[in-house]
Structure 1
Amino acid sequence: MKQIVPGLLLLVLLLGCKSEDSSSTAGNGASSEVKKPRIALIMKSLANEFFSNMADGAKSYQAENPDQFDLVVNGIKDERDISRQVSLVEEMIASNVDAIVIAPADSKALVPVLRRAKKAGVIVINIDNRLDAEVLAAENVVIPFVGPDNKAGAKKVGDYLANKLASGDAVCILEGVRTSFNGQQRLTGFQEAMDEAQIKVVDHQSAEWEMSKANTIASSMLSEHPEVKAILAANDSMALGAVAAVKGAGRSDDVMIVGFDNISAVQQAIKEDKIIATADQHGDQLAVYGIQNALILIENPDAAVEDVETPVDLITKESLSP
C-alpha cells in the first residue's frame, strides 16, 4: 500500500518536543500545567456502523495518548439531519474547542458554519466527505481534507464487478445523498467502470445512504428492469437493502451486488456470496488521521494547510479468506 498519510512524522517530533518541554518545566518546580487541546469529532449517523467504528477508533487513539489531547465525540441520528450537524458545530464553537474534525452530512451546507468556526479561532479538518470547492472559494475559506479518493475506490469495486459481467449487460446504481461529494464521486467511479466495460447503467437513483430506502428503490428497479444483472450501491447500508430486495424478488442467484465501506455485516454477506465486493476506507483510522493533522495545526498554526489522501482498498471473498 502506498504511503499517503504525510505529516505524521512531523506530529511525532512536535509532540515529542512538547513532552520534553513539559518534563523540563516540572523539573524546575513550576506548578502550572500545560493545558491539553480539546478536539471535537463530529460525524454523520452513529446508527451507521461505519461511523460508530470511526468513533471507536478515535476514542482508542485518545486513550493511547491521554496526555496529548481531550476528545469530544458527536454524531447525528439521521444521515440527512444537516441542521443538527450545523447545531453541533455551533455548540463546539461555544464550548471553545481547539479543533473540529468533521465528516459533513452535506458538502455545501456545512461550509458557512465551519467558516464561522475558523473565524472564532478553531482549527477545522474535513474528513470522509469532501466539502464543495466552489462554496469554500465563495466563502473565502481554506479547510484541509483528510480522506480517501472515493472515485478511485468506487472504480476498483466497479472494475471487479465488470469482470464478472458481459458487454451489454444491464446494471443499476443506488446513489448516496446527491449533495455529498463522496456520493457524487462514487457514482462517477461506478459509471466509469461500467462505461469502460460497455455495460449499460439502465437506472440510478438516490437512496440517501439508507438501508430501508435502498430496499424499496432496488425492489422497484428489479421490477421495472428484469434484465438487470447487478446493483452497485454507494455504501454498505444500501447494499444490504439491495440484498433484501433481491431476495424478495427471488433473484439472489442471478443478481450480483457490490457496496462501499466494509462494515462487518457486509463482510459476512461477502463470505456468504450475497455481496461480491466492497471498498474499505479504513473508517476506524480515518478520524485518527484527521486528529493527527489537527494536532499539527494546533501546535503550529502557520503550518502549510494540505490535503491528505488516505487508503481505500478493494475487499472481496478472496481478500477476506484467512
Structure 2
Amino acid sequence: MKKLTSLLSAALVSATLTAGAYAQDTLALVISTLNNPFFVTMKEGAEQKAAELGYKLIVLDSQNDPAKELANVEDLSVRGARVLLINPTDSDAVANAIRLANRAGLPVLTLDRAASRGEVVSHIASDNVAGGKMAGDFIAERVGASARVIQLEGIAGTSAARERGEGFAQAVSEHGFTLLASQPADFDRTKGLNVMENLLTGNPEVQAVFAQNDEMALGAMRALQAANKKDVLIVGFDGTENGIKAVEGGRLAATIAQQPGEIGAIAVETADRVLKGETVASHIPVPLQVIGK
C-alpha cells in the first residue's frame, strides 16, 4: 500500500510538472530576415533571455517581405503567443501586421526598426540618429572637414535607414563634407559591392564611405580593394562580429556598434514586465559605441 501511495505521488508530481510545462507562456519574435548576422544575434539574445525567464519563444522569419511578415503575424493567432516582438521589414508596411495583432489583443513591441502606425507598447532600439552623427564625426576626425564622402543607404522605408541618414546629414552639414552620392544598397553585402562599384566610376575622388550597416560596408570594402582604392576610409554600422573583425584587421576604419543581442534580451525582459502588468517606457534606448582603430 505504501509503495502504491509513493507511485501515485510520483505520478501526481510528474503530471503537475508536465502541466506546468504546457502552461508555459509563449512569446513570438517576427524578425525581418535571418539572412543577416545582426538579426541572428538579436534572435539569439531573445532566445537566451526567454529560456532564462521560462518562456517559450516562437521565431518567424519574414525574409524581408512585408507580405510574409503579415502572414507570420496571422499564423500567431493559432499558436497561443501572449506578446508579439516584431522587427519590421518596413516601418510603413508593418502597420497592417501590427493592427492585426492589436485586433487580436496581442501587446506589440518593436525592435530596432519603429512602426509608423499601429499601437505599440514599447520600441527597443539604439539611437540611430546619434549613430549616424557619430559616423560622420569619426570621418571628420580622421579625414578632416570638407571630406568628399559617399553614403550607402539601407532599405528605403525603414526607420533605421531614415534615422541613420538623418544623423549623417547633420554631420555632413556641420563638417562641410561634399556628399558625392547617397544611394540605397538595401543593407545587403552583395548590393553594397555592386552599388559601390557603380558609384566609384563617377566619383573616383571619394575619400570616405559611410555604409548604414556592416554588411554594406564589407561589400564596399571589396569594391574599393578591387579598384585599388586602399586609402578610402570606410565606416560601417551595427558592430556585427564580421564588422568588428574587419576593423581589427584594418580593413574597415570603424563600425558604430549596436548591441543586437542586448536588443533581443531587453525586448523579452520588457515583454515579461508587460505580462506582469507593469508600466514600461514607450522607447527603451540601447547604448551605441564607436569601435575603431
Pairs within 5 Å for 1:46-85:
46-65=34-53, 68-77=54-63, 79=64, 81-85=65-69
Query: Separation in 1 of the partners of 2:289 and 2:280?
Result: 28
The CA deviation at 1:184 is 0.4
- Tell me the distance in 2 between the aligned counterparts of 1:223 and 1:33: 63
Aligned to 1:101: 85
Matches of residues 248-259 of structure 1 in structure 2 within 5 Å? 248-252=226-230, 254-259=231-236
* Unaligned residue ranges in structure 1 (runs of 5+): 1-25, 318-322
Aligned to 1:226: 204
TM-score by length of 1: 0.81
**Shift >4 Å, 4+ stretches:** 31-34
Q: Distance in 2 between matches of 1:193 and 1:273?
A: 24
Name the TM-score, length of structure 2 as normaliser.
0.89
Residues 53-97 of structure 1: per-residue CA shift (max 9 Å, x gap): 1111122222323xx3211112233x3x22111211111123221
Partner of 2:143: helix, strand, or coil? coil
| DSSP 3-state at the match of 2:156 | coil
Rate the CA distance shift 1:227–1:109 in 2: closer, same or farther, 3 A. Answer: same
Q: For residue 32 of structure 2, give the secondary structure of its aligned residue in structure 1.
A: strand
Report the alpha carbon displacement of residue 316 of structure 1 after superposing the two structures with TM: 1.2
1:284 aligns with 2:261: yes
Cα distance in structure 1, aligned partners of 2:146 and 2:133: 18
Q: Tell me how far apart the structure 2 counterparts of residues 32 and 241 of structure 1 sit (CA, whole Å).
A: 50
CA distance in 1, matches of 2:287, 2:101: 28
Q: Which has the larger radius of gyration?
A: 2
Shift in Å, 1:33: 4.3
Distance 1:56 1:106 in 2: 22
Contact 1:175 1:183 in 2 (8 A): yes
**C-alpha spacing 1:149/1:40, structure 2 compared with 1 (3 Å):** same
Identity between Structure 1 and Structure 2 (%): 28
Shift of 1:305: 5.6
1:308 to 279, 284, 287: 284
One-letter amino acid of the counterpart of residue 237, structure 2: F
Kindly indicate whether residue 111 of structure 2 is the aligned counterpart of residue 117 of structure 1.
no
| Matched residue SS, 1:222 | helix
Whether the aligned pair in 2 keeps the contact of 1:191 and 1:201 (CA below 8 Å) is: no
Partner of 1:210: 188
What displacement does 1:194 show? 2.0
Residue 251 of structure 1 and its aligned partner are, at CA, apart by: 0.6
- Give yes or no for the alignment of 1:45 onto 2:21: no
Select 2:221's aligned residue among 222, 240, 243.
243
Partners of 1:162 and 1:194 within 8 A in 2: no
Counterpart-to-counterpart distance in 1, 2:78 and 2:131: 37
Distance 2:126 2:187 in 1: 18
Give yes or no for contact 1:41–1:287 (8 Å, CA) kept in 2.
no
2:163 match: 185
Task: Give the aligned partner of residue 272 of structure 2.
Answer: 295
8 Å contact kept, 2:73–2:100: no
* CA shift in 2, pair 1:101/1:142, >3 Å: closer
Question: What is the alpha-carbon distance in structure 2 between the residues aligned to residue 216 and residue 242 of structure 1?
Answer: 8
SS of structure 2 residue aligned to 1:250: coil
d(CA) in 1 for partners of 2:74, 2:177: 46
Q: Distance in 2 between matches of 1:93 and 1:161?
A: 47
Q: 1:60 to 1:142 in 2, by over 3 A?
A: closer
C-alpha RMSD over aligned residues: 2.0
Q: 1:6 maps to what in 2?
A: none
In the TM superposition, what whole-angstrom CA distance separates every residue of 1:235-287 from its partner, at most 9, and x where no partner exists?
A: 010001100110111112x2110111111111111112211111121001111
* Cα displacement (A) at 1:304: 5.4
What's the CA shift for 1:126? 0.6
User: Residues of 1 paired with 2:283 and 2:146: CA distance?
Assistant: 39
Structure 2 unaligned spans of 5+: 1-12
